[in-house]
Structure 1
């Protein structure tokens, strides 16, 4: 289940996270393998859409066998605690509720979305 967690990371003025920041954010939720990943080995891109920025991230497998944590992660950066788009406010008036809604949809028979590991 998704959890709310404070991660001591501050994005730079241009709002583009460094690879180390991304590794630290993911490592706060996926604590077995991600914290020891070399940030320079990450493949990532930072994109801004009409509401919030997002960052797909992929890491190499650092184990000899099968990885116990996902190798690919999608991070969504929220600008504020409030929903930015008026038309969606009735579904999820706060970002925490939006994350929970995404998690629940991903678990439904219709959902094929990403698994929500947490939000900050």
Structure 2
């Protein structure tokens, strides 16, 4: 039973990675709360089964945080360990964590996921690295 669940999770992971890998740039912006935009890729991530809008909402919720407010660029990383995860935010890869939040339960099939947040005028855009 456990082996079957792990195989299903691995298959879901590969399918999601394949789907997200096809996004380069974006053709449309999607409003996501006040002052936030999603790209085609991050909207697909949110819509994917299982949904990841919880992660996008978490990222959006930190944008008023003083340390993040002044940044033009942020790197967000989700690292899963079983059914738990940790989400971190850095100013850039290799820099100290500005945010670190434990997630007590997640059903994401992804072991790791990176997302970027870029400032665009008064808006902030959450995007996949391949869309940068």
- TM (norm. structure 1) is 0.28
Structure that is richer in strand per residue: 2
Q: What TM-score results when the alignment is normalised by the length of structure 2?
A: 0.26
